[in-house]
Amino acid sequence: MLKKKMLSRNSKGRFTTYGIVIAAWIIMEIFMRAGLMSSHLEGLLVPMTYYAIVAVALNLCVGILGELSLGHAGFMCVGAFSSALFSLVTDGVMPDGVRFLIALVIGVIVSAIVGFLIGIPVLRLNGDYLAIVTLAFGEIIKNIINAMYLGVDSKGVHISFESQMALNMEPEGKTLINGAMGVTGTPHDANFTIAVILLLLALVVVQNFIDSRDGRAVMSIRDNRIAAESIGIPVTKYKMLAFTISAAIAGMAGVIFSHNIATLQSTSQYFGYNVSIMILVYVVLGGIGSIRGSVIAAVILYLLPELLRGLNKYRMLIYSVVLIAVMIINWAPKAIEKRTAFFDSIRKGMKRNGTA
Amino acid sequence: MMSFLTSFVNGLSLGSIYAIIALGYTMVYGIAKMLNFAHGDFIMVGCYIIFIFSSNLGLNPVAAILIAIVLCTLLGITTERVAYRPLRNAASPLAVLITAIGVSYFLENLALLIFGADTKSFTSVVPWAGISLFGGSLQIQGITIVTILVSLLILIFLQLFVHKTREGQAMLAVSQDRGAAMLMGIDVNKTITLTFAIGSALAAVAGALLASAYPSLTPYTGAMPGIKAFVAAVLGGIGSIPGAMIGGLVLGIIEILSRTYISSQLADAIVFGILVVVLIVRPTGILGKNIQEKV
Amino acid sequence: MKKKLLSIALTAVMAASLLAGCGGSGASGSSSSGDTFKIGVIGPLTGGAAAYGTAVQYSAQIAVDEINAAGGINGKQVELKAEDDELDAQKSVNAYNSLKDWGMDMLVGCVTSACSIAVSEETKNDNMFQLTPSGSALDCVKYDNVFRVCFSDPAQGAASAQYIGQNGIASKVGVIYDSSDVYSSGIYQTFAQEAANQGFEIVSAEAFTADSKTDFSVQIQKAKDAGAELVFLPIYYTEASLILQQANTMGYKPIFFGCDGLDGILGVENFDTSLAEGAMLLTPFAADATDELTQSFVKSFEAKYEITPNQFGADAYDAIYAIKAAAEKENVTPSMSVTEIGDAMKKGMTEISIDGLTSTGMTWDASGEPTKEPKAVVIKDGAYVSAQ
* Tens digit of each residue's pLDDT (9 = 90 or more) over A302-314: 998 888 887 777 8
Mutate which of B33, B89, B109, B228 to test chain A, going by most A C-beta atoms within 10 A?
A: B109
Q: Looking at residue A313, what is its pLDDT?
A: 75
Using the predicted structure, report yes or no on whether residue B293 has a pLDDT greater than 60.
no
Report pLDDT digits (tens) over A50-93: 999 999 999 999 999 999 999 999 999 999 999 999 999 888 88
Which residues have a Cβ under 8 Å from the Cβ of B83 and sit 6 or more positions away?
A324, A328, B99, B100, B102, B103
Yes or no, beta carbons of C221 and B10 under 8 Å apart? yes
Find, in chain C, the residue whose alpha carbon is nearest to that of B222.
C214
At residue C229, the pLDDT reads 92
Pairing relation of β-strands C370-371 and C362-364?
antiparallel
Confidence band (pLDDT; 50, 70, 90) for A144?
very high
Residue A346 located in a structural domain = no
Q: Which of B18, B48, B119 to mutate to test the interface with C (most CBs of C within 10 A)?
A: B119
- Tell me: the pLDDT tens digits for C336-354? 999 999 999 999 999 999 9
Q: Assign B34 a pLDDT band (cuts: 50, 70, 90).
A: confident
Chains touching chain C through at least 3 C-beta pairs below 8 angstroms are A, B
pLDDT 10s digits, C259-285: 888 877 887 888 888 888 888 888 788
Q: With bands split at pLDDT 50, 70 and 90, how would you rate the model's confidence at C26?
A: very low
- Chain A nearest CA to C238, separation (Å): 18
Q: Do A331 and B110 touch (CB under 8 A)?
A: no
Residues 6+ apart with CB under 8 A from A16: A292
Q: Is the pLDDT of residue A341 over 90?
A: no
Segments of chain B assigned E as strands:
120-121, 130-133, 138-141, 216-217
> Which residue of chain C is at minimal alpha-carbon distance from A181?
C182
Instruction: Give domain status of residue A353, yes or no.
Output: no
> Cβ(C122)–Cβ(C96) under 8 Å?
yes
Chain B 200-259, residues with CB within 8 Å of chain C CB atoms: 210, 214-216, 218, 220, 224-225, 255-256, 259
> How far apart are alpha carbons A342 and A350 in whole angstroms?
12
With CA atoms as reference, the chain A residue closest to C100 would be A39
CATH architecture of C30-151+295-371: 3-Layer(aba) Sandwich (3.40)
Q: Report CB contact under 8 Å: C214, B225.
A: yes
DSSP for C65-130, written as a single string: HHHHHTT-BTTBEEEEEEEE-TT-HHHHHHHHHHHHHHT-SEEEE-SSHHHHHHHHHHHHHHT-EE
Confidence check: pLDDT of C25 > 50: no
Chains touching A (at least 3 CB pairs under 8 A) are B, C
Chain C touched by A11 (CB under 8 Å)? no
Q: Which among B254, B200, B7, B206 has a CA at the least distance from the CA of B246?
A: B254
Q: Give me the percent of chain B exceeding a pLDDT of 70.
A: 97
| Interface test with chain C among B134, B216, B254, by most C beta carbons within 10 Å | B216
Q: Given C5, C94, C189, which is nearest A164 (Cβ)?
A: C189
Report the amino acid identity of residue C120: S
Q: Are strands C36-43 and C172-178 parallel, antiparallel or unpaired?
A: unpaired
Q: Residue C387: is its pLDDT beyond 80? A: no
- How many domains in chain A? 1
- The whole-angstrom separation of Cα A73 and Cα A54 is 8
Q: Is residue A336 part of a domain?
A: no
Instruction: Inform me whether the C-beta atom of residue A319 falls under 8 Å from chain B C-beta atoms.
Output: yes
Cα B93-B95-B98 angle, rounded to 5 deg = 120
> For testing the chain A interface, which of C8, C80, C94 should be mutated: the one with the most A CBs within 10 Å?
C94
Angle at B175 between CA B171 and CA B178, to 5 degrees: 100
What pLDDT does residue A8 have?
Answer: 45
Q: Where in the sequence is the domain holding A53, given as residue range(s)? A: 11-314
* Residues within 8 A of A (CB atoms), B 61-100 only: 83, 86-87, 89-95, 97-99
Contacts of C175 (CB under 8 A, 6+ apart): C188, C191, C192, C202, C204, C205, C206, C231, C232, C233, C234
**Do the Cβ atoms of C31 and C338 come closer than 8 Å?**
yes
Predicted local confidence at residue A2, as pLDDT: 43
Average pLDDT, chain C: 85
Class level of CATH domain C154-283: alpha beta
Q: Is B177 left (phi over 0), alpha (psi -120 to 50) or beta?
A: beta
The fold of B2-281 is ABC transporter involved in vitamin B12 uptake, BtuC (1.10.3470)
Distance from CA of C74 to the nearest CA of B (A): 35
A339 within domain boundaries: no
Runs of H (alpha helix) within A14-92: 14-33, 39-59, 72-89
Establish if A331 belongs to a structural domain. no
In the predicted model, what is the mean pLDDT of residues A128-150?
90
Inside any domain, residue A103: yes
B268/C contact by beta carbon, under 8 A: yes
Contact B98 A327 (CB under 8 A): yes
A contacts of B268 (beta carbons < 8 Å) = 139-140, 143
CB-nearest to B215 from C208, C242, C251 is: C242
Q: Does residue A329 fall inside a structural domain?
A: no
C369, C152 Cβ separation under 8 angstroms:
yes
Residue A356 pLDDT exceeds 50: no
Mean pLDDT (chain B, rounded): 88
Question: Does residue B126 carry a pLDDT above 60?
Answer: yes
Q: Is the pLDDT of residue B261 over 80?
A: yes
Of B98, B265, B280, the CB nearest to A121: B280
- Taking only the tens place, the pLDDT of each residue in B51-77 is 999 888 888 889 999 999 999 999 999
Task: Determine which of B259-263, C48-52, C166-170, C303-307 has the lowest per-residue pLDDT on average.
Answer: C48-52
Is any Cβ of chain B less than 8 angstroms from the Cβ of A204?
A: no
Q: Which residue of C has its CA nearest to B217?
A: C238
Confidence of residue C1 (pLDDT cuts 50, 70, 90): very low
In angstroms, the CA C234 to CA A13 distance is 56
Q: Give the chain A residue nearest B236 (alpha carbons).
A: A129
Shortest CA distance to C315 belongs to which of C287, C343, C338, C339? C287
The share of chain B scoring above pLDDT 90, in percent, equals: 42
Tell which wins on pLDDT, B70 or C51. B70
Confidence of residue B291 (pLDDT cuts 50, 70, 90): low
- Please, what is the average pLDDT of chain A? 88
- Domains in chain C: boundaries: 30-151+295-371, 154-283
Residue pair B199/B59 in contact (Cβ under 8 Å)? The answer is: no
pLDDT at residue C3, rounded to an integer: 47
pLDDT tens per residue, range B219-251? 988 888 888 898 899 889 888 899 999 999 999
> With an 8 Å Cβ cutoff, is C182 touching chain A?
yes
Instruction: Tell whether B8 lies on the interface with A, counting CB pairs under 8 A.
Output: no
Q: Per-residue pLDDT tens for B262-280?
A: 888 888 898 899 889 988 8
Q: B277 to chain A: nearest residue by CA?
A: A121
Q: What is the pLDDT of residues A6-23, one digit of tens each?
A: 444 445 678 888 999 999
Label residue C22 by pLDDT band (50, 70, 90): very low
Q: Say yes or no: do domains C30-151+295-371 and C154-283 share a fold.
A: yes
Q: Cis omega (within 30 of 0) on the bond before C140? A: no
What are the CB-based long-range contacts (under 8 Å, 24+) for B53-61?
Answer: B54/B123, B54/B125, B55/B120, B55/B122, B55/B123, B55/C270, B61/B123, B61/B125, B61/B208
Please state the domain extents for chain B.
2-281
3-state secondary structure of C348: helix
Q: A37 CB near a chain C CB, below 8 Å? A: yes
State the nearest Cα–Cα gap between C272 and chain B, in angstroms.
8
